[in-house]
Amino acid sequence: MLDGSQRAATGAPNVVMILLDDLGFAQFGCYGSDIATPTIDRLAGDGLRYSRFHVTALCSPTRASLLTGRNHHAVGMGFLADIPTTDPGYTARIPASAATLPRILRDAGYNTLAVGKWHLLPRGERSSAGPYDRWPLGLGFERYYGFLRGDANHWAPELVRDNSYVEPLKSAAEGYHLTEDLADEAIRMVVNQQQSAVGKPFFLYFATGAMHAPHHVERSWADVYRGQFDIGWDRWREQVFAHQVASGVVPAGTTLTERPPWVAAWDSLTADERRLYARMHEVYAGFLSHTDAQIGRLIAALEQLGVLDNTLIFVMSDNGASAEGGVHGTANEHRFTHQVPDNLSENLERLDDWGGIHGYPHYSWGWAWAGNTPFRLWKRYTWLGGTRVPMIVHWPQGIDDAGVRGQFGHAVDIYPTVLEACGITPPQTVDGVVQQRVDGASLMPTFNNADAPDPRMNQYFEMLGSRSIVSGAWKATTDHVSQGVLDEEQLMTGSREFDNDAWSLFHIESDFSEAHDVADQHPEIVRRLEQEWWAEAGRNNVLPMADGLAQRLGSSVPREYAVPAQLLVRPEGGPVSDDALPMLAGGGWIFAEVEVPADGGQGVLFALGDWTGGFGAYVSEGRPVVAVCLPGVDIVLRGPQRLPEGRHRIAMGMHQVDGGTTIKLVLDDDELAAEHTPIGLPLAWQHGGTSLTLGADRGLPLTSDYTPPYPWTGTLHSVLLSTGRQLHPDPAHARVALQVD
């Protein structure tokens, strides 16, 4: 056991891992696109571009592999961290037998800093009660600033510093953007560390929310691209492919795979559709250029510190471009998880504001397909469009021979690469726990030798039931279609039953883009690879397979402390994480016990989420209002008159009726208003997580009636949340539940 006084080897490099989210193989300028990414291109120009680097096809699993050097199932992260199950490959809990890269670097004398997206924390462990073992500080980082879940509203994120929820330093109206904040913080941490311990190396893990939806950026960044994508995704893809081949990141002789029938030909679209989809990509491109500029500030800071030459920098993505916006794209991605179909005319109405504070947008899947040029498919699939991503290495002191590297690489290879570069032998035991097999191999031999043999040539893949395996010169891939993206379920061709999955076969060594299926010519090779896949599945805890969320729910792990059906909360505790609140997806009541001033008062009584998904009650011009913003519809109910002075109970009811929802506003014993919508209640109101605020709001509002914080001018005694339809808001019952006299 080390006591923290270990010194790193003299000359050991700093390590910076820059991880973008949902960025496709073709989207950086240096990988073929016409989107401006000058910082990334400069790093690539002075360093290495890997052309056969792979990931797991999804967020949490790739992050677990990067930080442990192990296959995702082998460390319990076979799927999203949000859904821990009892199956060993899907616990969402990185085991003590796989000590993380920051933990090992810390023990070896590094400072370890994490900024940005985490997404390695099981549901039920994200509230202010922890447990904190799997928060960044529990898994080897000394400092952390970022967001814990899969994505974040870039205008108003749910932020954490170390082990506490904190508020952003400014509001969207004051010019806040998450990526800028993350870059500021990364620079602050590194500069401060370097000044505080001169000569001590650091590891910085910098994981942006970009390029994951919501595609949020100030419109001037998007307007730079005005008209640039009017040529459409088919022609854009051909141009990108030509650049890729010309620059050597795709080998000459590669076949550009064909457009699948479920992606529309650009020429077949109406003028409105083209206008909409082109703008979606302008916003995406602006968002990427903005991200590149923030990374540029970080790199400039390293340069100014004089440490850039001996800093080993990786830039990569966690999976291929995302098709979760479906055919039309979406103005509000919460519709996708709630399976509310998108609507072209509604999207057109939102076009002018695309990327702004009112939406939570994601582009059409035509751009995801093109963003992964020259491959098939996208995120969530183990076709190369999901698994092969850009990977850039920059290290002036360690790399003399810049250029393209074609050796096979995978997320699990980064950990052994870093340890070798830093001169660290992986420990056999950590905290007395024997360490499990490392699955990756160091890429260091390829740094200065473009012709070095591949460190490894065998790797299984599995994501949401999509399976493939690379074995030497060959790759076999199934045609399984997963669940969860409505348009994929309805439009994609392929197998929906594991027993009927068909394996295609590609000579991946010569067929770079996985274009030519030769399964019919080599049935014996298909059989061999399929058997190898099953052996790897057994060795890595891949089984049981599931191709959607529904099958996983049956084996989900109960929380240590169950969320109660009723919870009384008080304003002096501050915001309450949605992870700790009663599940209102089946309906329920929320009661606010208040003291109304003589003028009827004004301000927010309670609020959760915002206008892209959320609910709350407030008083405007003395009148009570409840607002429920569902994915697809907003319901705002207003009391007919000013609130009477004195103690009152203002209640909001949400009831599941005929698959839809009825919302009610109740004052004491009187129902003041009610409205029904056919849209049901979501399981989660905000992808990025959110908190219930009491007596004021924060971030973005529920409606344009008010600007947060809009504090309540009366007294708020308490708020009671209660699940189920059975609880009738009769005063006696409510008073008992509220524990007031």
Q: Helices 271-305 & 38-46, crossing angle to 10 degrees?
A: 50
CA distances from 464 to 144, 180, 260, 423, 542 (A): 30, 33, 20, 37, 11
Indicate the burial class of 494 (C-beta count within 10 angstroms; 0-12, 13-18, 19 or more).
middle
- Closest distance between Ca ion and the C-beta of residue 320, in Å? 9
For Ca ion (CB under 5 A), the number of binding residues is: 5
Q: Which is nearer to Ca ion, 407 or 686 (CB)?
A: 686
Q: Which is nearer to Ca ion, 117 or 475 (CB)?
A: 117
Indicate the burial class of 588 (C-beta count within 10 angstroms; 0-12, 13-18, 19 or more).
buried
Span of 14-22, 125-133, 469-477, 601-609 interacting with Ca ion by CB under 5 A? 14-22
Q: Which is nearer to Ca ion, 21 or 107 (CB)?
A: 21
- Closest distance between Ca ion and the C-beta of residue 117, in Å? 9
Span of 16-24, 215-223, 293-301, 538-546 interacting with Ca ion by CB under 5 A? 16-24
Cα dihedral 381/383/387/392 (nearest 10): -150
- Closest distance between Ca ion and the C-beta of residue 675, in Å? 37
Q: In the window 37-66, what residues touch Ca ion (CB under 5 A)?
A: 59
- Closest distance between Ca ion and the C-beta of residue 56, in Å? 10
Q: In the window 140-159, what residues touch Ca ion (CB under 5 A)?
A: none
CA distance 186 to 114: 8
CA distance 218 to 227: 17
- Closest distance between Ca ion and the C-beta of residue 65, in Å? 13
CA distance 494 to 504: 12
Span of 154-162, 230-238, 311-319, 355-363 interacting with Ca ion by CB under 5 A? 311-319
CA distance 365 to 24: 12
Span of 21-29, 224-232, 588-596, 599-607 interacting with Ca ion by CB under 5 A? 21-29
Location of structure tokens 């019952």: 733
CA distance 510 to 214: 37
Location of structure tokens 């670097």: 105
CA distance 137 to 113: 9
Location of structure tokens 């099958």: 551
Q: Which is nearer to Ca ion, 63 or 93 (CB)?
A: 63
Q: Is 319 in the site for Ca ion (CB under 5 A)?
A: yes
Q: Which is nearer to Ca ion, 21 or 181 (CB)?
A: 21
Eight-class DSSP state of 546: -
Q: Which is nearer to Ca ion, 213 or 650 (CB)?
A: 213
3-class SS at 177?
coil
Q: Is 21 in the site for Ca ion (CB under 5 A)?
A: yes
- Closest distance between Ca ion and the C-beta of residue 317, in Å? 7
Q: Which is nearer to Ca ion, 17 or 607 (CB)?
A: 17
Length of the chain in terms of residues written: 741
Q: Which residues contact 570 (CB under 8 A, 6 or more apart)?
A: 694, 717, 718, 719
Q: Is 22 in the site for Ca ion (CB under 5 A)?
A: yes
Location of structure tokens 């529309």: 264
CA distance 605 to 616: 7
Contact 695, 571 (CB under 8 A): yes
Contact 728, 577 (CB under 8 A): no
Contact 144, 159 (CB under 8 A): no
For residue 544, cis peptide bond before it (omega within 30 degrees of 0): yes
> By beta-carbon distance, which residue lies closest to Ca ion?
59
CA distance 333 to 687: 9
Question: What burial letters (b/e) apply to 711-724, b meaning 16+ CB within 10 Å?
Answer: ebebebbbbbbbbb
Contact 503, 461 (CB under 8 A): no
- Closest distance between Ca ion and the C-beta of residue 615, in Å? 28
- Closest distance between Ca ion and the C-beta of residue 333, in Å? 13
CA distance 24 to 34: 13
- Closest distance between Ca ion and the C-beta of residue 17, in Å? 15
Q: Which is nearer to Ca ion, 380 or 655 (CB)?
A: 380
Phi/psi for 478 (5° steps) reads -90, 165
- Closest distance between Ca ion and the C-beta of residue 369, in Å? 16
Q: Which is nearer to Ca ion, 62 or 602 (CB)?
A: 62
- Closest distance between Ca ion and the C-beta of residue 515, in Å? 25
CA distance 663 to 650: 13
- Closest distance between Ca ion and the C-beta of residue 207, in Å? 10
Phi/psi for 440 (5° steps) reads -90, 170
- Closest distance between Ca ion and the C-beta of residue 114, in Å? 17
- Closest distance between Ca ion and the C-beta of residue 142, in Å? 25
Span of 15-23, 25-33, 49-57, 671-679 interacting with Ca ion by CB under 5 A? 15-23
∠ CA 347-37-454 to the nearest 5 degrees? 110
- Closest distance between Ca ion and the C-beta of residue 22, in Å? 4
Q: Which is nearer to Ca ion, 22 or 107 (CB)?
A: 22
Phi/psi for 360 (5° steps) reads -145, 65
Span of 88-96, 312-320, 323-331, 728-736 interacting with Ca ion by CB under 5 A? 312-320
Summarize the chain as % helix, strand, coil (round to 5): 30, 25, 50
Q: Is 318 in the site for Ca ion (CB under 5 A)?
A: yes
What residue ranges bind Ca ion (CB under 5 A)?
21-22, 59, 318-319
